[in-house]
Chains A and B, each alone.
Chain A
Amino acid sequence: DTGVSQNPRHKITKRGQNVTFRCDPISEHNRLYWYRQTLGQGPEFLTYFQNEAQLEKSRLLSDRFSAERPKGSFSTLEIQRTEQGDSAMYLCASSLDGPTDTQYFGPGTRLTVL
């Protein structure tokens, strides 16, 4: 069990640019989640996959955001035309389907939009 990994750990970009983040879940986990955390706040749910199907999307996930999990393994989160308000920590978590489903988090990707 190597844990959830995320890349890159830090990303600095200019407003208007596109960025993509990657999340590799714990290998046997079939569920994968994306959260966003701004300074001084708890994480806020963005979206969730079960295998390759995207089952839930938050209202926070504007049309500039898109997430994929093409083969039910790793996932990518893309933000198009970044805005300064997108600056945040983007956290990925994974879990194994079951009655005591528990989410395990990765180290996060810190995005700074200049």
Chain B
Amino acid sequence: AQSVTQPDIHITVSEGASLELRCNYSYGATPYLFWYVQSPGQGLQLLLKYFSGDTLVQGIKGFEAEFKRSQSSFNLRKPSVHWSDAAEYFCAVGPYSGSARQLTFGSGTQLTVLP
């Protein structure tokens, strides 16, 4: 069964500092990987996705993520954090094999941005 681990429950960074959120997955085949962001009381917004090809993917709001098969990781990065980036971030893996389409999510990383 697939699983996703986000080791950091809570991260605090200063505005303007760089950010890296970690994501490790367990899946038997080629994974499809996603990062979503959730503001309080809201649904999930897609930041970026990886299906195949270039292992460095660009997303919205200046985020990028790198797929490293050897490390089973898909870490999210941003070079300079803005106060509006404060939210909860979820990494997800999808099987996309046969009829299976459900995403498996990590437990999330809460990001606090200090002024």
From B44, B99, B107, contact of A40 by CB (8 A): B107
Q: Is A106 an interface position by the 8 A CB rule?
A: yes
A-B contact count (CB 8 A): 64
Q: 1/0 contact trace for A27-57 toward B, CB 8 Å?
A: 0000101010000111111001010000110
Q: 1/0 contact trace for B87-103 toward A, CB 8 Å?
A: 00010101010011111
Q: Which residues of A contact B46 (CB under 8 A)?
A: 102-105
Q: Is B51 an interface position by the 8 A CB rule?
A: yes
**B42 x A108 contact (CB < 8 A):** yes
Q: How large is the interface on A (under 10, 10 to 19, 20 to 34, 35 or more residues)?
A: 20 to 34
**A43 x B41 contact (CB < 8 A):** no
**A108 x B51 contact (CB < 8 A):** no
Most buried by A among B4, B44, B99, B107: B44
CB distance from A27 to the nearest CB of B (A): 18
Q: Which residues from chain B sit less than 8 Å from chain A, CB to CB?
A: 4, 34, 36, 41-46, 49, 51, 90, 92, 94, 96, 99-108
Q: Which residues from chain A sit less than 8 Å from chain B, CB to CB?
A: 4, 6, 31, 33, 35, 40-45, 48, 50, 55-56, 58, 91, 93, 95, 99-108, 110
- 4 shortest A-B CB distances, which residue pairs? A42-B105, A45-B102, A105-B44, A105-B43
